[in-house]
A and B are shown apart, each in its own frame.
Chain A
Amino acid sequence: MAETYRKKKNYFILLFLAGGFVVYTVFLVVPILHAMFFSLFGGPGIVPKEFVGFQNYIQLFTRDIYSERFFNAFKNTVIFFLIVTFFQNVIGFFIAIMVTRKFSGNTFFRRISFLPTTLSVIVAGFLFTLILNPVWGIFDKFLEVMGLGFLVRPWLGTPSIALVVIAVVTSWQFLGTSIIFYTAGIDAIDKEVLEAARIDGVGPLAEIRYIIFPSILPIVGIVTILIFIGDFTQFDIVYAMTSPYANPQYGTDLFGSLFYRAAFFPIGRGGWGMGMGATVATMIVLIVTIGVIVLMMLFRMQSMGAREEGDR
């Protein structure tokens, strides 16, 4: 009796797991492993057939045509990530504090903050390209009216400025996510603690510094990690605002756009062949994985494993 029950249970487990396991394995895990495996192959033709060992990696770091692009994209991605992280965490945090105060209309502001996030990155990117377009000049005219005409410049035509612009547009779009995350964290703080602190004469700034900030620190960690993963493969905003060639002069080239060109463009028009494309993909996988682990440690988040342990 017990024996048949256990057997039945085993079949049941297998059946339930099988579908999800197959889809997830074949279409997510295998493709990532495929990139790692493929990065060891080279040779002429679209599909590389010749086993070359770590030759692709050596090329990536030593041959100028590859390494220049790779390190340029790395540098840009880091700057892009830092700008977005700053906006989403700092401004997001302060707006979250504001909308968690008691005043009429606070839920309205919470709701609208998430509105830009519902748009597609492509739409946001095109929209701001048009707003910054010098021919139409809607943003430049606005600056002139405000007496800031001296600031007008080719927003998407200067490498260093264009990178900041696409980072600000990305922040505009995703600020709502961090606001919602932080308000959730602030709302979860025990009201009695805040009440007691106020009776003891704790001012609003001290309250933010000593009560609110420490209790939402884990959420700051989650937000930062989500931004990190998103930004290190960000592609859409580059495509929409500065083309897959990351104009001007690769000034806005991120890992996402570099990988896109390297893997899928014809050789001679920015493509590096599939073997090198897979090498770039593998490098990004490694950087993202290591980065996430470092960030997790930085935020002293117990790893998911530790939390699992605690649950049991």
Chain B
Amino acid sequence: MLKIKRGTTKTLLYVVLAIYALTIFYPIYLMITTSLKENEEIFTSPYSLPQSFNLDNYVQLFEVSNYLTYFRNSILVTLTSLLIIVVLSSLISYVLAKYKFFGSRFLYFYFIAGLIVPIKLGTIGIIRIMLSLKIFDTLTALIIVYTAMGIPFGVFVLTDFIRLIPEELSNSARIDGCSEAKIFFKIVLPLLRPALAAVVIINFIPIWNDFWFPLLLIRSDNARTIPIATALLFGQYETNFGLVFSVLAMASLPVIIFYFILSRQFIKGLSAGALKG
């Protein structure tokens, strides 16, 4: 890192970054303040802070929709798929990194090919499979699709990471009579923690925010996740600005808060992903 000596450069730097920060914060500020205003106030004084802290729009949102159900569904789907992604891709990666067998190299490419081919384009087939398995229009369908979507990146990151674990560790455990499964769970998995965090963080955002699959795989209200509910409520109440802004704010606030709590880990995980590629 370089120290900036001249005062003018430093001022310029702050000005540019302040403008950039404004472009980030202003739309989000607008979303939150507008959601706290009454409909009349939204039009008469759009830029000002809300006159009173008015939660009417949120009360109305919870009255007209099953928002708690959507919220619960989003959490359930995201957490379950992340958990399965972590378990399955670390198992796959362990085998691919530590065992040489016929086709092991091919298998590695087979798994990471999914990084290039977008799963969305297979949706016709996915719908038909879900229908024949009788899980169309269920949260299970979403969880399975997100798992398939997350495995390629998991395998990509974890296989390299496991290769770096010295073979001596597992060999000495083998001599001590440890089973292969025990070696994996007792020795390898704990060492994988930082890489697993990266896998979770990088998969979290696309899964939590996914709109495509609930749009096509979900029909009933009680299986909706937040993004699809947001779109439907937005379409339904388009002219009710106050309500619409509370819909957007409700969809964003949990993630924004979550991000600020864990932003250090987020950036660490993403940076690890960047340098890996």
Contact A289 to B117, CB < 8 A, known contacts A17-B95, A123-B230: yes
**A112 on interface, CB distance cutoff 8 Å:** yes
Residue B259 is within 8 A (CB to CB) of chain A in the complex: yes
Contacts of B147 in A (CB 8 A): 23, 27
Given A12-B181, A24-B114, A112-B24, A95-B231 contact (CB < 8 Å): no
Task: Give the complex CA separation of A32 and B122 in angstroms.
Answer: 4
B274 touching A115, Cβ below 8 Å:
no
Q: How far is the CB of B48 from chain A (nearest CB, A)?
A: 12
Whether A122 contacts B231 in the complex (CB less than 8 A), given A101-B4, A288-B117, comes out as yes
> Number of B residues whose C-beta is below 8 Å from A?
96
A114 to B7, CA, bound (A): 28
Partner-binding segment picked from B26-34, B52-60, B62-70, B165-173: B26-34
Q: Mark A264-292, 1 if CB is under 8 A from B, else 0.
A: 10000000001001100110110011001
State A277–B244 Cα separation when bound (angstroms). 33
Partner of B121, one of A98, A100, A233: A233
A28 touches B122 (CB 8 A): yes
- For the complex, give the distance between the alpha carbons of A118 and B262 in Å: 12
Chain B residues touching A, majority SS: helix
In the assembled complex, B89 has its CB within 8 A of some CB on chain A: yes
B267 closest partner in A (C-beta): A180
Residue of A33, A141, A183, A235 touching B212 (CB-CB under 8 A): A235
Q: Closest CB-CB distance, B206 to chain A, in whole Å?
A: 10
Would you call B116 an interface residue if the criterion is a C-beta within 8 Å of the partner chain's C-beta atoms?
yes
The reply to whether A222 and B230 contact each other, CB–CB distance below 8 Å, is no
Is B175 in contact with chain A by the CB < 8 A criterion?
A: no
- Chain B binder among A50-58, A150-158, A303-311: A303-311
A98 vs B84: C-alpha distance when bound (angstroms):
39
Closest 9 interchain pairs by CB?
A31-B122, A34-B125, A31-B125, A184-B271, A120-B209, A20-B88, A27-B148, A181-B274, A28-B148
Q: Which residues of B approach A to under 8 Å, CB–CB?
A: 1-4, 10, 13-14, 16-17, 20-21, 23-25, 27-28, 30-31, 42-43, 46-47, 84, 88-89, 91-92, 94-95, 99, 101, 105, 107-112, 114, 116-126, 128-129, 144-145, 147-149, 151-152, 155, 160, 163, 180-181, 184, 205, 208-209, 211-212, 216, 226-227, 230-231, 234, 241, 244-245, 248, 251-252, 255-256, 258-260, 263, 266-267, 270-272, 274-275, 277
